[in-house]
């Protein structure tokens, strides 16, 4: 539901039932209209934000052209070391860190670094277009789609306070400081005005939108595939999954109603739950079981997500990193091909293993996929309204 909001949250079951029934009807209407991302309206005077388009930044376009032509293939680190690239990379990391960790305003001169998601405001049972548009920023797809200051050799003239600055759940190899998550992403209704961008997100990206007369009826859900344990992987706190999400989203007033975790490595129940905070535990579902790629398989995550009764009115965040490309790529293919699944996913974090020199030490070279394939995949899903991020 990342591109829209419904008005007037209620707690009674009848109200929620009506919302879910409305979601089904609006799904059918919007599919016929060709719009894939939306939120159900519950009365004629209510409005929704419907995803309309994705616009990559010029920086992202440069990188895509370089991968398409082959000019930058396996030269990503070499290109990232160029002075202009280093300057933009430092600006990007500094800006995103300020937004996500501290809620600092984005300097107007840096707006052009970011790619954009545009939403249209539609109202009433016929979803009449009001003509109003809202634009929200997202980090550009550049380099090897990881933190541009890490993995590759350290760029010259990058100060320690920037190069070595990592927060909870991060380290140089597991850096997540390049993610501009939805709740922290600046937005505006007048993108040509550089001073109009607002920090703090719009509903559903933030749960404090009630002070603007906006509220929602859905749930916030995190599905973590390849979860390890709540606070780390094999003692590496930098590789943490769920804890990182809880911390970053909480900073922007968004908590998860459900955290659904999958982990194939067997753990003692005491080890699974000892690091889960008391306030998170009632919302924490841990399947000590790996996901499967069969659409009808018992542990297929998309089947489980739909079985939970999730609708496009819910805000759903997905992390997929199980280090089994055959299963991962099949699940992604299901997401790409099945609108019923894609309509549910608002924000996704995925590490796709490809054949690229910079990551050959860890991913190997026996892979037909290249960085260009990931650029195209992420660009396509962003064009369908999914905020795609490349997980480390």
**Structure confidence at residue 19 (pLDDT):** 41
18: confidence class by pLDDT, cuts 50, 70, 90: very low
Token pair for 272: 């699974």
- State residue 46's pLDDT score: 82
Tokens 């396509």 found at? 380
Q: Does 76 score more than 50 pLDDT?
A: yes
Number of domains in the chain: 2
Lowest mean pLDDT: which of 8-22, 186-200, 295-309? 8-22
Predicted confidence band of residue 25 (pLDDT cuts 50, 70, 90): very low
298 assigned to some structural domain: yes
Residue-level pLDDT at 47: 84
Give percent of the chain above pLDDT 70: 84
Residue 132: the pLDDT is 94
In a domain, 363, yes or no: yes
Q: Is residue 323 part of a domain?
A: yes
Residue-level pLDDT at 125? 86
Q: Is 300 left (phi over 0), alpha (psi -120 to 50) or beta?
A: beta
Q: What is the arithmetic mean of pLDDT over 83-88?
A: 97
Pick 212 or 347 by higher pLDDT.
Answer: 347
Based on the domain organization, do 239 and 152 belong to the same domain? no
Rounded CA separation 316/221 (Å): 5
Listed in sequence order, the DSSP H helices in the chain are 13-33, 58-69, 76-80, 83-102, 160-163, 242-250, 269-273, 301-307, 325-337, 339-342, 360-363, 371-383
Residue 385 in any domain: the answer is yes
Picking from 124, 159, 178, the residue at the C-terminal end of a domain is 178
**What CA–CA distances, in Å, run from 39 to 20, 207, 209, 215, 341?**
10, 16, 16, 12, 15
- The whole-chain average pLDDT of the chain stands at 86
The pLDDT tens digits of the residues spanning 28-51 come to 334 334 345 444 555 567 888 889
Domain shared by 251 and 374, yes or no: yes
Mean pLDDT of the region 331-343:
96
Same domain, 245 and 102: no
Q: What are the phi and psi torsion angles at 235 (to 5°)?
A: 80, 0
Mean pLDDT to the nearest integer, 101-115: 96
| Whether 170 and 226 share a structural domain | no
Are 153 and 252 found together in one domain? no
pLDDT at 7 over 50: no
Confidence category of residue 149, pLDDT binned at 50, 70, 90: very high
pLDDT: is 228 or 19 the higher one? Answer: 228
**Is the pLDDT confidence value at 202 over 90?**
no
Burial 100-130 (b: 16+ CB within 10 A, else e): bbeeeebeeebbebbbbbbbbbbbeeebeee
Residues 120-130 pLDDT 10s? 998 988 889 99
pLDDT per position as a tens digit, 212-248: 334 455 899 999 999 999 988 777 767 777 999 999 9
**How far is residue 351's CA from residue 343's CA, in Å, rounded to a whole number?**
21
What integer pLDDT is reported at residue 357 of this predicted model? 96
Domain contains 28: no
Question: What value, to the nearest 5°, has the Cα angle with vertex 317 and ends 209 and 52?
Answer: 70
Query: Do 384 and 239 share a structural domain?
Result: yes
What is the distance between the alpha carbons of residues 120 and 148, in angstroms, rounded to a whole number?
Answer: 32
Provide the sign of the torsion angle of the four alpha carbons 209, 215, 216, 220, taken in this order. positive
Region 287-295 average pLDDT:
98
Q: Is the pLDDT of residue 277 over 90?
A: yes
Asked if pLDDT for residue 22 goes beyond 70, the answer is no
User: Can you list the positions of beta strands (E) in the chain?
Assistant: 47-55, 115-123, 128-138, 187-188, 220-225, 258-262, 284-287, 315-320, 347-350, 387-390
**Quick one: 100 and 245 in the same domain?**
no
Chosen domain end from 154, 178, 202: 178
Domain annotation covers residue 10: no
Q: pLDDT band at 55, cuts 50/70/90?
A: very high
* Confidence band for 201, pLDDT divided at 50, 70 and 90: low
Task: Determine the number of helices (DSSP H) and then strands (DSSP E) in the chain.
Answer: 12, 10
Domain of residue 369, residue span = 219-392
pLDDT at 203: 61
Average pLDDT rounded to a whole number, residues 96-105: 95
Q: What is the mean pLDDT of residues 334-360?
A: 96
Dig out the tokens for 81 from the structure: 């070391």
Asked if residue 227 and residue 285 are part of one domain, the reply reads yes
- 236 belongs to a structural domain: yes
Instruction: Answer whether residue 354 is part of any domain.
Output: yes
Residue 56 has pLDDT above 50, yes or no: yes
């Amino acid at each position: 539901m990342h591109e829209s909001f419904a008005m007037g949250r209620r707690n009674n079951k009848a109200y929620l039932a009506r919302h879910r029934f409305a979601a089904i009807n609006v799904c059918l209407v919007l599919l016929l209209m060709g719009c894939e991302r939306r939120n159900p309206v519950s009365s004629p005077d209510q409005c929704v934000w419907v995803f309309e388009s994705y616009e990559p930044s010029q920086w992202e376009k440069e990188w895509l052209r370089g991968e398409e032509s082959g000019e930058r293939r396996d030269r990503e680190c070499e290109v990232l070391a160029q002075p202009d690239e280093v300057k933009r990379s430092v600006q990007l990391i500094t800006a995103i860190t300020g937004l996500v960790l501290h809620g600092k305003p984005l300097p107007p001169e840096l707006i052009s670094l970011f790619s954009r998601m545009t939403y249209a405001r539609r109202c009433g049972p016929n979803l009449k277009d009001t003509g109003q548009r809202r634009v929200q920023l997202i980090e550009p797809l550049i380099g090897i789609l990881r933190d541009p200051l890490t993995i590759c050799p350290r760029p010259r003239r990058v100060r320690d306070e920037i190069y070595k600055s990592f927060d909870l759940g991060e380290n140089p190899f597991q850096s997540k400081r390049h993610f501009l998550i939805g709740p922290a992403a600046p937005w505006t209704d007048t993108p040509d005005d550089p001073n109009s961008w607002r920090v703090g997100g719009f509903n559903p990206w933030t749960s404090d939108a009630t002070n603007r007369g906006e509220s929602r009826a859905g749930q916030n859900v995190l599905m973590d595939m390849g979860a390890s344990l709540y606070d780390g992987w094999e003692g590496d706190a930098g590789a943490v999954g769920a804890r990182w999400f809880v911390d970053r989203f909480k900073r922007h007033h968004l908590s998860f109603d459900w955290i659904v975790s999958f982990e194939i490595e067997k753990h003692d129940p005491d080890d699974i739950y000892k690091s889960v905070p008391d306030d998170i535990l009632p919302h924490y579902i841990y399947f000590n079981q790996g996901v499967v790629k069969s659409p009808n398989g018992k542990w297929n995550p998309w089947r489980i997500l739909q079985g939970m009764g999730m609708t496009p009115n819910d805000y759903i965040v997905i992390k997929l990193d199980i280090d089994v490309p055959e299963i991962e790529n099949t699940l992604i293919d299901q997401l790409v091909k099945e609108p019923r699944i894609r309509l549910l996913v608002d924000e996704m974090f995925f590490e796709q293993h490809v054949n690229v020199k910079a990551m050959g030490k860890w991913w190997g070279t026996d892979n037909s996929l290249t960085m260009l394939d990931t650029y195209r995949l992420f660009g396509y899903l962003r064009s369908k309204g999914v905020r795609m991020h490349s997980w480390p």
